[in-house]
Amino acid sequence: MRQRRQGAAGLVLAAPTRQSVRMKKGEWSDLALSGAEFAVKVTPNARRAAITREEGVIRISVTCIPEDGRATAAVIESLAHALGVAKSRLTLVRGATSRDKLFRLG
């Protein structure tokens, strides 16, 4: 059985399993420029959390359901971790209820 812990914004996050690959914090720090915008395609309710970058689009799969902003909060947490910045520096510009989102780094 997987252990669960309390995460940011009251989210319940599952502990990573042996099969999942955890990205190092700040692995994409070369993209972390103030004012930069990131187009993100989100897959909510995925079996495994993942983040990839393809041709200028970042694809993020989260295990949270798209209800009450839980998936968006998980996306912000994943993107901030990959960029090596604080979650508060990311602003959702467009796509609050869409799978296609645009974030700006402040």
Topology, domain 31-105: Conserved Hypothetical Protein Mth637; Chain: A; (3.30.1200)
Q: How far apart are CA 75 and CA 98, in angstroms?
A: 12
Amino acid present at 57: V
Q: 85 pLDDT exceeds 80?
A: yes
Q: 44 pLDDT exceeds 70?
A: yes
Q: Provide the residue ranges of all domains of the chain, joining segments of one domain with +.
A: 31-105
Q: How far apart are CA 25 and CA 4, in angstroms?
A: 21
Q: Which residues pair with 6 in a beta bridge?
A: 12
Q: How far apart are CA 32 and CA 64, in angstroms?
A: 25
Q: Which residue has the higher pLDDT, 9 or 32?
A: 32
Tens of pLDDT, residue by residue over 74-84, are 999 999 999 99
Tens of pLDDT, residue by residue over 14-36, are 444 333 346 788 888 999 999 99
- Chain mean position to CA 74: 5
Q: 90 pLDDT exceeds 70?
A: yes
What is the SS3 assignment for 63? coil
- Give the H/E segment covering residue 80: helix 70-83
pLDDT at residue number 82:
93
Q: How far apart are CA 31 and CA 84, in angstroms?
A: 10
